[in-house]
Amino acid sequence: RPPGAAREPPMPLRLPIIGHLHLLRGYSVPYQAFTALKLRYGPVVRLQLGAVKCVVVNGQRHIREALVTRGHHFDFRPNFERYQRLFAGNKENSLAFCDWSSTQKARRDMLKAHTFPRAFTAQFQRLEGLVVEETGRLVRALSAHSTLQLKPLLLQTCANVFLSHFCSVRFGAQNAAFLDLLSNFDEVFFEVNQGYAADFLPFLMPLHRRKLQRLSAVTHKIREFINREVIGDRFERHQPDMEPADYLDSLIGRVKAPGKEPLDWDTALFALEDIIGGHAAVGNFLTKLFAFLVAEPQVQRRIQQEIDAQVGVDQPVTISHRLVYTQAVIYEAIRLISSPIVPRVANQTSELGGYTIEKGTVLFLNNHDLSMSEELWAEPQQFRPERFIRAGKLFKPEYFLPFGGGRRSCMGYKLVQLVSLGVVGAIMQRFTLRPLGGDLAPYRVPIGSLALPKDSFTFQLEKR
Ligand code: HEM
């Protein structure tokens, strides 16, 4: 190797066919395997997972290099067969799993105005109003129960916030087709959050044939509902010079009057479905957050004290309220869940931490380590929202990267924070959550992924 030239990252001994897949087994959270590799081989480790060349990236400095400084070299996503199948045979249809392209840039630019509404704008006020409306409905529905599974109601609330915000429609809790839609979205969300050996060993794909066929039927049903109930005749009714009322209008306008970067209707429909599907991320996240809170009565009390002091009992909690402690609780739940950054892929041969990274290499960015490292956090296993508060203000350490970063960063993080604030605020204002029968054992929150199985956690609600 010529002096000064980058070298390959270190690599453990590998087995025939499976390569290093065996090293990922035996951990309750798969990403813990990456932390173990860091301790043994250093921050950047090369792995051959079945047929796929991979690199594991650890530590804030190297993860930032991958996401931001050299983010333009690492902006593709893995080409797993499963992703292709989930998005009608072409993963480029998906907002989160496509490679970087001018279409993706255009899709992200168009979305920004809707997913990052700026405070005090008319759009923000509209969102604020509809979060109050939907959380009001949620609280009324909860008042009719003393024990219940929260997840279905949280999904309904989040879905109606997303549908009203992006498409100006909402659906009632008695609408069977709507409830089917939610369960279909939840199933797809669960699936995209799983990792399979077959992603790396394509010859195992036939084992998943039936599940993939089912998912294909499920995504088809989602598309039918969106076309029939959400879009209806809006495409035909759309006038060229009308001001877009929502994201759906912006998409239709772009398809009908393509600027420099044309958008076809099919691609627009996938972009719409993906973003509506974001409600499942928030609904699953909130379900986990409440399962954490059941075991933390003093945290619930502090949220309630904050709300009582700043909002009172007669006014609804809104997304504009500066509830620092409640916001810190949301960060703390996100930290502890430690969901992975969607893997990146090198679009060209590049470098990272002084090592060569070959074109096509899949990068796993170990943010589980960033969220749970004892070097970065005091008692990282404990639920301690105060760690996100400094001098009375919300404080986000620079090594806290739950939404990734750079040009492929999460498009939904603002909505996650705003909608979560509205929902947590509304529920805590009126109720205290207790474990059923006083037993905390069933409330162990699975971490390492946002997704929960369909039937998860029954809570006892005590009116305040
Ligand atoms: C607690 C909930 C959520 C977490 C922890 C989360 C986290 C993430 C992460 C880590 C990434 C990959 C970022 C990267 O590669 O740098 C991502 C991508 C993405 N997220 Fe989220 N997300 C959440 C909710 C949402 C919601 C509600 C939406 C929709 C409104 C959303 C939309 C997206 C999209 C579209 C991408 C792909 C962006 C791209 O590849 O260009 N996310 N998210």
Q: For residue range 18-45, what is the model confidence (pLDDT) as tens digits? A: 999 999 998 988 889 999 999 999 999 9
| Environment class of 148 (CB within 10 Å of its CB; exposed 0-12, middle 13-18, buried 19+) | middle
With a 6 A CB cut-off, is 68 part of the ligand 1 pocket?
A: no
Token pair of 148 as six digits: 């219940």
- Residue 410 among known ligand-binding residues: yes
**How many residues in the chain?**
464
Compute, in angstroms, the gap from residue 430 CA to the centroid of ligand 1.
30
Compute, in angstroms, the gap from residue 164 CA to the centroid of ligand 1.
20
With a 6 A CB cut-off, is 415 part of the ligand 1 pocket?
A: yes
The whole-number pLDDT of residue 260 equals 78
Question: What is the model's pTM?
Answer: 0.97
Residue 88 and residue 220: Cα distance in Å, rounded?
A: 9
Q: Whose Cα sits closest to atom 7 in ligand 1?
A: 403
The whole-number pLDDT of residue 3 equals 58
The whole-number pLDDT of residue 88 equals 87
Share of the chain above pLDDT 70, in %: 99
Check whether 5 has a pLDDT greater than 90: no
Confidence of residue 4 (pLDDT cuts 50, 70, 90): low
Compute, in angstroms, the gap from residue 385 CA to the centroid of ligand 1.
22
Question: Which residue type is seen at 24?
Answer: L
Compute, in angstroms, the gap from residue 428 CA to the centroid of ligand 1.
26
- DSSP single-letter state for residue 7: B
Token pair of 147 as six digits: 């024990």
Query: Ligand 1 atom closest to Cα of 108?
Result: 41
Compute, in angstroms, the gap from residue 342 CA to the centroid of ligand 1.
8
Q: Whose Cα sits closest to atom 20 in ligand 1?
A: 410
Query: Ligand 1 atom closest to Cα of 285?
Result: 1
Lowest mean pLDDT among 2-6, 38-42, 216-220, 431-435: 2-6
Query: Ligand 1 atom closest to Cα of 274?
Result: 35
Q: Whose Cα sits closest to atom 28 in ligand 1?
A: 412
Residue 420 and residue 327: Cα distance in Å, rounded?
A: 9
The full DSSP string for 242-309 is PPP-SHHHHHHHHHHS--SS---HHHHHHHHHHHHHHHHHHHHHHHHHHHHHHT-HHHHHHHHHHHHH
Residue 19 and residue 171: Cα distance in Å, rounded?
A: 49
Token pair of 139 as six digits: 């609280």
Q: Are 401 and 344 in contact (CB under 8 A)?
A: no
Can you tell me which residue has the tokens 């760690």?
Answer: 387
Lowest mean pLDDT among 3-17, 19-33, 206-220, 261-275: 3-17
Q: What is the pLDDT of residues 56-102, one digit of tens each?
A: 999 999 999 999 999 999 999 999 998 888 898 899 999 999 999 99
Confidence of residue 12 (pLDDT cuts 50, 70, 90): very high
Compute, in angstroms, the gap from residue 371 CA to the centroid of ligand 1.
17
Q: Are 166 and 277 in contact (CB under 8 A)?
A: no
Check whether 381 has a pLDDT greater than 90: yes
- Which of 127, 220, 203 shows the shortest CA–CA distance to 168? 127
Q: Which of 274, 409, 410 to mutate to test the pocket of ligand 1 (most atoms within 8 A of CB)?
A: 410
Q: Whose Cα sits closest to atom 21 in ligand 1?
A: 410
Can you tell me which residue has the tokens 């609330």?
Answer: 157
Neighbouring residues of 288: CB distance < 8 A, sequence distance ≥ 6: 333, 337, 445, 446, 450, 452
Residue 341 and residue 336: Cα distance in Å, rounded?
A: 14
How many other CB atoms sit within 10 Å of the CB of residue 201? 18
Q: Whose Cα sits closest to atom 43 in ligand 1?
A: 410
Query: Ligand 1 atom closest to Cα of 419?
Result: 27
Token pair of 208 as six digits: 């998943």
The whole-number pLDDT of residue 1 equals 55
Local structure of 44: helix, strand or coil:
strand
Kindly state the average pLDDT of the residues 339-353.
Answer: 96
Check whether 2 has a pLDDT greater than 60: no
Q: What is the pLDDT of residues 254-306, one digit of tens each?
A: 999 877 788 899 999 999 999 999 999 999 999 999 999 999 999 999 999 99
With a 6 A CB cut-off, is 342 part of the ligand 1 pocket?
A: yes
Query: Ligand 1 atom closest to Cα of 77?
Result: 40
Token pair of 19 as six digits: 């390569």
Kindly state the average pLDDT of the residues 390-403.
Answer: 97
With a 6 A CB cut-off, is 380 part of the ligand 1 pocket?
A: no
Q: Whose Cα sits closest to atom 42 in ligand 1?
A: 412
The whole-number pLDDT of residue 259 equals 77
- Per the DSSP assignment, residues forming a β-bridge with 56 are 45, 364
Compute, in angstroms, the gap from residue 425 CA to the centroid of ligand 1.
23
The whole-number pLDDT of residue 91 equals 95
Q: Are 178 and 171 in contact (CB under 8 A)?
A: yes
Compute, in angstroms, the gap from residue 334 CA to the centroid of ligand 1.
13
Check whether 120 has a pLDDT greater than 90: no
With a 6 A CB cut-off, is 275 part of the ligand 1 pocket?
A: yes
Q: What is the pLDDT of residues 163-199, one digit of tens each?
A: 999 999 999 999 999 999 999 999 999 999 988 899 9
Higher pLDDT, 225 or 262: 225
The whole-number pLDDT of residue 119 equals 87
Compute, in angstroms, the gap from residue 396 CA to the centroid of ligand 1.
18
Q: Which of 276, 341, 411, 417 to mutate to test the pocket of ligand 1 (most atoms within 8 A of CB)?
A: 411
Query: Ligand 1 atom closest to Cα of 98?
Result: 40
With a 6 A CB cut-off, is 334 part of the ligand 1 pocket?
A: yes
Average pLDDT of the chain, as a whole number: 95
Compute, in angstroms, the gap from residue 144 CA to the centroid of ligand 1.
34
